[in-house]
C-alpha cells in the first residue's frame, strides 16, 4: 500500500506541476521563441497525461483494492457484515465529497493548487499508514484479533479479565 501511495503522491505532484506551469505562464517565453520558428509545442498536456497515467497505474494495484480486501478480512465474523457496510458507506461518501468539491476548489485555488492539496492529503495518508496501520501479513485471524485488542486495550492481567468479563 505504501508503494502505491508513493506513486499516487508523485502523480499528483506531476499534475500540480503541469497545471501550475500552464497557468503561471513561466514557460511562455520558450513558446514565444518557438513561434518565431513556426511552431509552439506545449508539453503541458503530455505532462498531465503522464500524471494521470501514473495515478491510474499506482492506484489500481494498491490504494484501490487494498482497503476493500482489508475490510473483508479484518473484522470478526459477528461484526463483519455491519462493519463492512459502514466502511463501504464511508468510502462512497468520501468519493461523493471529492466529486462535489473538486470544481469549487479548482475555481478557488486553481487546478494546480487543487492537485497540490490532494498531494498533501496523500502525504498525510502515507504517514498514517506508515505509523498507525498494523502489518497483518502472514498472521492468522486470531493473531490479528489479539494484536488489535492489545493496541486498543493494552495488555496485562487486569485488561484480560476485563475483556473476558465483557465477552471480548
pLDDT band of 124, cuts 50, 70, 90:
very high
What's the rounded Cα separation, in Å, for the pair 168 and 159?
Answer: 11
pLDDT digits (tens, 9 = 90+) for 27-61: 655 555 554 555 555 677 888 999 999 999 999 99
H or E element, residue 166: none
DSSP type of residue 134: P
H or E element, residue 108: helix 77-131
CB 61 within 8 A of CB 6: no
Contacts of 141 (CB under 8 A, 6+ apart): 73
Report pLDDT for 117. 96
Looking at the domain covering 2-133, what would its CATH class be?
mainly alpha
pLDDT band of 98, cuts 50, 70, 90:
very high
Q: Where in the chain is the domain with CATH 1.20.1250.20?
A: 2-133
CB 25 within 8 A of CB 112: no
What is the percent of the chain with per-residue pLDDT over 90, rounded to a whole number? 43
3-state DSSP assignment of residue 115: helix
Contacts of 94 (CB under 8 A, 6+ apart): none
Q: Which three cell numbers stand for residue 123?
A: 502525504
Amino acid at each position: 500500500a505504501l508503494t502505491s501511495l508513493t506513486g499516487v503522491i508523485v502523480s499528483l505532484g506531476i499534475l500540480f506541476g503541469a497545471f501550475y506551469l500552464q497557468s503561471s505562464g513561466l514557460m511562455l517565453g520558450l513558446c514565444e521563441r518557438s513561434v518565431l520558428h513556426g511552431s509552439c509545442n506545449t508539453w503541458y498536456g503530455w505532462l498531465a497525461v503522464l500524471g494521470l497515467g501514473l495515478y491510474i497505474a499506482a492506484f489500481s494495484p494498491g490504494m484501490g483494492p487494498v482497503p476493500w480486501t482489508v475490510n473483508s478480512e479484518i473484522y470478526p465474523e459477528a461484526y463483519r457484515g455491519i462493519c463492512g457496510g459502514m466502511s463501504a458507506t464511508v468510502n462512497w461518501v468520501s468519493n461523493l465529497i471529492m466529486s462535489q468539491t473538486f470544481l469549487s476548489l479548482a475555481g478557488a485555488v486553481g487546478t494546480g493548487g487543487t492537485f497540490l492539496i490532494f498531494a498533501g492529503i496523500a502525504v498525510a495518508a502515507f504517514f498514517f499508514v506508515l505509523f498507525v496501520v498494523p502489518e497483518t501479513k502472514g498472521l492468522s485471524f486470531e493473531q490479528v484479533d489479539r494484536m488489535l485488542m492489545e493496541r486498543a486495550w493494552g495488555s496485562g492481567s487486569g485488561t484480560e479479565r476485563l475483556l473476558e468479563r465483557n465477552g471480548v
